[in-house]
């Protein structure tokens, strides 16, 4: 006598997804072993606008202010610099090496025209904040609406 077995179609899909996830994990697992010292690295940025300015924030922990250069060319802000290891440790002594040393660079287009000569950069608690005042043309314009008085008998 044959017994009936209940079939759950979604369990096959979950199993396939689990195997696919493992394959991707195994594939990408080796990428953290790249020697970071040999390549520039990219750091995250926040770019936002207020009515008066464009603000760019970048975390640069362990970077000294004198090792950072900021420039604006044709509406593109570039932040670049270099971090240096202050201690000498033999390569074979490392068990894990994730801190990055070397040059870094990031360029982003600015969302509005800014006054380059009035830019301000502050480095506080490892966060670089660049404030760029907008040009008069880039600032939002306010237009007042005038109401005409209603004259009786006319429409």
- Each residue's pLDDT tens digit, 65-116: 999 999 999 999 999 998 877 676 677 777 776 677 788 899 999 999 999 8
Q: Look at residues 101, 114, 125, 28 and name the one whose alpha carbon lies nearest to residue 72.
A: 114
> pLDDT, tens digit, for every residue of 114-127?
998 999 999 999 99
Per-residue 3-state assignment (H helix, E strand, C coil) for 97-121: CCCCCEEEEEEEECCCCECHHHCEE
List Cβ neighbours of 111 (8 Å cut-off, separation of 6 or more): 47, 49, 54
* pLDDT (0 to 100) of residue 147: 85
The percentage of the chain sitting over the pLDDT mark of 70, rounded to a whole number, equals 70
pTM over 0.85: no
Can you say how many angstroms the Cα of residue 63 is from the centroid of all Cα atoms in its chain?
Answer: 17
pLDDT-based confidence at 12, cuts 50/70/90? low
Burial class (CB in 10 A: 0-12, 13-18, 19+), 151: exposed
Cα torsion 116, 81, 36, 58 to 10°: value is -50
The CATH code belonging to domain 34-84+101-133 is 2.60.40.790
| Rounded CA separation 133/114 (Å) | 6
* pLDDT (0 to 100) of residue 31: 46
């Amino acid at each position: 006598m044959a017994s009936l077995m209940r079939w759950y179609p979604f369990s096959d899909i979950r199993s396939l997804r689990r195997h696919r996830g493992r394959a991707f994990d195994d594939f990408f697992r080796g990428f953290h072993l790249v020697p970071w010292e040999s390549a520039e690295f990219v750091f995250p940025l926040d770019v936002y606008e207020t009515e008066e300015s464009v603000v760019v924030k970048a975390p640069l922990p362990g970077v000294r202010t004198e090792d950072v250069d900021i420039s604006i060319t044709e509406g593109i802000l570039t932040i670049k610099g270099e971090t240096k290891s202050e201690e000498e440790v033999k390569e074979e002594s490392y068990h894990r090496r994730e801190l990055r040393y070397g040059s870094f660079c990031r360029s982003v287009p600015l969302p509005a025209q800014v006054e380059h000569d009035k830019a301000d950069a502050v480095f506080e608690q490892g966060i670089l904040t660049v404030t760029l005042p907008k040009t008069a043309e880039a600032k939002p314009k306010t237009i007042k609406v005038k109401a005409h008085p209603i004259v009786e008998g006319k429409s």
